[in-house]
Amino acid sequence: MIPALMPTYNRADLPFERGDGAWLWTADGRRFLDFGAGIATSSLGHGHPHLVKAIAEQAARVMHVSNLYRVPQAERLAARLAETSFADSVFFCNSGAEANEGMVKAVRKYHAENGRPERFRMVCFEGAFHGRTLAMLAATGNAKYLAGFGPPVEGFDHVPFGNMNAVRNAIGPHTAGVMVEPVQGEGGVRPASLDFLRDLRRCCDEFGLLLALDEVQTGMGRSGKLWAYEWAGIEPDVISSAKGIGGGFPLGAVLAKEKVAEHLKPGTHGTTFGGNPLACAAGNAVLDVVLAPGFLDGVDRVARHLWRGMLRLADRHPDVVEGVQGAGLLVGLKLRPEVSNTDMQAAAVAEGLLTVAAGMNVLRLAPPLIITEAEADEALRLLDRACLRAKPGGEKEAAQ
């Protein structure tokens, strides 16, 4: 019989009961170091006192009022996000896919209201992941995810990631913009080169297109800067955010330049829950921590420490690890074809370490941004043991 909880995921048999910082415990007392962070989402780890307090206090005062009224928490969060980024204006929603939908609608409306309604297509990339709504399935373009859901939504053209000639060739009279992840997360923790992002900016300027970045996974400090685009020294026209922005509370956002945002007038776009007092109290609490002096420098420092260790790990286990890729605290261990990322993930669980699989046989580490160097060292020690367990002819096969 089908489980009452719809079986859309292959779930590990690990019902966690409580968490503290980068650690999680099951009810039967097993402890795990959480380097998955709910897929790059629990940015402040578990039970962060400032976030817990903000949510509890706001929940007791007023949780939800709808967007028919002013929401001071949302106004404050939007102002802070605008002040610390390229953006002039922010739309709040509830998830990454919803943020991307809003972003693509904003891009299309911009052209429609500038007298170019024929410009509605986005250039997207092979290996992308933009979410599971019907339009974002089409933007993702993965045949496996699209299968069985009818004709894909029109308007998304895919080219190889990092290939500027292919981008230029894909641009036509119907092109509205380019949509790209600064680091492809689900697709395999593949970073775009900073030069590629700069070339995309120049190319969009040349053709009058909008540059739309999906920072759902890379944003809110994960790369070691507040937004990953900052590393390239460019300004996008619009970005989407979600995952870490609410520290585990569901919150998404579209951040846009005025020239884009001004086209989303009353009646053009909306959401019932988006930006409610509770969600924005969580968002403000996360920002309090991430914007505190020295916090992002600390993320950058611990990330570099983790990277050095990961490179040593790759050297020690050439029979398991092919390379290390990603940015900041979004790190991918590219595994050799003989070792599957799901086996490696299970080996890590057996050692007490939580990670997330990604495409192209990559094991993804996306720990909370609050990890210490000692916790990074502990994760490396556990990964070292997991490599011994997972390697061809290792403990896993010996046990069979």
Decide if residue 303 touches ligand PLP (CB under 6 A).
no
Q: What's the closest the beta carbon of residue 33 comes to ligand PLP, in angstroms?
A: 22
The owner of tokens 């809003």 is 102
Alpha helix ranges (H) inside the chain: 37-40, 49-61, 72-83, 96-113, 134-140, 143-146, 164-170, 194-207, 258-261, 277-290, 295-316, 341-351, 373-390, 395-398
Decide if residue 129 touches ligand PLP (CB under 6 A).
yes
**Beta carbons of 24 and 354 less than 8 angstroms apart:** yes
State which residue has the least CB distance to ligand PLP.
96
Decide if residue 34 touches ligand PLP (CB under 6 A).
no
Residues across the chain: 400
Decide if residue 186 touches ligand PLP (CB under 6 A).
yes
DSSP assignment, residue 269?
A: S
- Token digits of residue 228: 């990953």
Decide if residue 97 touches ligand PLP (CB under 6 A).
yes
Output 119 or 243, the one with its CB closest to ligand PLP: 243
The single residue among 185, 191, 219, 394 that binds ligand PLP, judged by CB under 6 A, is: 185
Q: What's the closest the beta carbon of residue 97 comes to ligand PLP, in angstroms?
A: 3
User: In angstroms, what CA-CA distances link 211 with 128, 158, 197, 314?
Assistant: 15, 15, 10, 35
Q: What's the closest the beta carbon of residue 96 comes to ligand PLP, in angstroms?
A: 2
C-alpha span between 241 and 226 (Å, rounded): 11
Stretch that binds ligand PLP, among 197-205, 214-222, 301-309, 363-371 (CB under 6 A): 214-222
* Residue 346: strand, helix, or coil: helix
Output 96 or 367, the one with its CB closest to ligand PLP: 96
Decide if residue 217 touches ligand PLP (CB under 6 A).
yes
Query: Annotation-wise, does 168 bind a ligand?
Result: no
C-alpha span between 303 and 222 (Å, rounded): 9
Output 184 or 313, the one with its CB closest to ligand PLP: 184
Q: What's the closest the beta carbon of residue 184 comes to ligand PLP, in angstroms?
A: 8
Per DSSP, the residues of 35-81 read SSHHHHT-TT-BS-HHHHHHHHHHHHH-----TTS--HHHHHHHHHH
Decide if residue 95 touches ligand PLP (CB under 6 A).
yes
Decide if residue 219 touches ligand PLP (CB under 6 A).
no
Decide if residue 101 touches ligand PLP (CB under 6 A).
no
C-alpha span between 214 and 142 (Å, rounded): 16
Which residues inside 328-387 make contact with ligand PLP, applying CB under 6 A? none
Output 309 or 332, the one with its CB closest to ligand PLP: 332
The single residue among 45, 131, 177, 274 that binds ligand PLP, judged by CB under 6 A, is: 131
Rg (CA), the chain: 21
Query: Annotation-wise, does 132 bind a ligand?
Result: yes
The single residue among 55, 74, 242, 279 that binds ligand PLP, judged by CB under 6 A, is: 242
Output 191 or 394, the one with its CB closest to ligand PLP: 191
User: In angstroms, what CA-CA distances link 153 with 100, 181, 216?
Assistant: 14, 20, 21
Query: Annotation-wise, does 272 bind a ligand?
Result: yes
Interface residues with ligand PLP (CB under 6 A) are: 95-97, 100, 129-131, 181, 185-186, 214, 216-217, 242-243
